[in-house]
Structure 1
Amino acid sequence: MKTLVLGASTNKERYSYKAIHSLVDKSHQVVAIGAKKGMAFDIPIETEKLDFHAVDTVTLYLNPKAQVDYYDYILSLKPRRVIFNPGTENSEFYKILEANNIQYEVACTLVLLATNQY
């Protein structure tokens, strides 16, 4: 299963970086997009909306205002689900996802991974 970490950071203190680390540790395939190019735990962080294929899950680390620019992009990837991590909750986007038959979870990726619920 491939996960797109949206809002990825090279800062080891950021939750997006920790999520990438944890996903890789649990043998998930990871792709990442962030504000700046770089590496997070051997995963390249891209800055452009690349056409990643077979994305199962998008995990968000962007505030609701920043998410607006990614609505169409996320829909184009046709993920099975989108995870809204703490601070990313967005009722407007929930409705758009529902209308496109994409599941969403308001949850913490790190907790889901740590408790084998991912």
Structure 2
Amino acid sequence: MIEDAYVRLYAHDFVQMAGRSELGQNVQGDVEKRLSDARAHAVIMDDRKTPGHLKALVERLRELAPEFSGRVMLKGANLEDAAERRLVFLNRIADALAGAAPASSSRVIAIS
């Protein structure tokens, strides 16, 4: 059985990083570390529970990517542009976790 706590933990962290990035903070180092942590933790969870934890995280990130409330954005920023940046940010992280992009790629967090 996939542990939902694993999925929630990492999905929450990546969503927070998307918000911090939208506010202009440099999150590249945090993203790279968390990608590494999520991969390593998934191996442990797969061994102890059921395979598929990383895949479940990727799916959750793709589900969360289009959900945007507008709470985390700079004053005066365009709502549609901010929503698109969040979508791109989270999908790039999902791609990196799925193996479609290297974890150290600057494209993972380049959303501006």
TM over 0.5: no
Structure having the higher helix fraction is 2
Structure having the higher strand fraction is 1
Q: What TM-score results when the alignment is normalised by the length of structure 2?
A: 0.32
Q: Which has the higher contact order (CA 8 A, sep 6+)?
A: 2
